[in-house]
Structure formats: structure tokens, C-alpha cells
Amino acid sequence: MADSAHRGLRLTEAIGRLKVARESRTGYARTKFRLWIDADHDDCDTRKEVLLAEATKKPRQCRNCALTGGTRRSYYDGKTLNQRPPARHRPRLSPR
């Protein structure tokens, strides 16, 4: 449970209190994080629902909730990010 002294903080203030450390991906495997569920059964998993909700420019929503384009503002560093999926997750334009 959250420390009672930190309840009621704005997100940006809470993030500002996080300890900054060097990134390490040792032991990271995307398959370990199967938490993206589609609770409302609209074909958008949790991750995509958040991207849609936090977009400053809404992405295009294609079949099966594939998202392309759009932008969002990073709470961590204030930068504007273009929402573009990694190459391995982009749909192919022609069959193999």
C-alpha cells in the first residue's frame, strides 16, 4: 500500500520523487508481462486503452485496435512522443 505521506500527490510530483538509475534490461522478457487484458471486450488491451486515453493527438485506430500515428506527452520527461509501433509489430503491406 502507498505510504500515507504520498497519497494525494499529482502524478508529475510523484514521478519527480522517483530515484533515477541507469536502465538495465537484464532478465527482461516481454513474454513475462501478459497483463494486457481487454476488460471491456472492444479489441483494445490495457496498453492500447492507455495510449488512446493519454494521447495529445489521437492515433488512428484500425481493425483489432491496431494503433498508428498519434502523439502523447511523457510524464517522465515532458517530451512529446510519436506513437509508432516497433518495426516487428507493424502490419506487413504485402504477403511474404
For residue 57, give the H/E element and its range.
strand 55-57
Supply the pTM of this predicted model. 0.56
pLDDT of residue 55: 93
pLDDT in tens, 41-87: 999 998 899 889 989 999 999 988 999 899 998 877 788 988 765 54
The CA distance from 25 to 22, in Å, is 10
Q: Which residues pair with 80 in a beta bridge?
A: 73
Helical segments of the chain, H only: 11-16, 46-54
The CA distance from 69 to 91, in Å, is 13
Asked whether residue 15 carries a pLDDT value surpassing 60, the answer given is yes
pLDDT of residue 82: 86
Burial (CB count within 10 angstroms: exposed 0-12, middle 13-18, buried 19+), residue 44: buried
Residue 42 to residues 9, 50, 59, 63, Cα–Cα distance (Å): 32, 14, 16, 11
Q: In this structure, what C-alpha cell is assigned to residue 58?
A: 489521437
Helical segments of 9-45, H only: 11-16
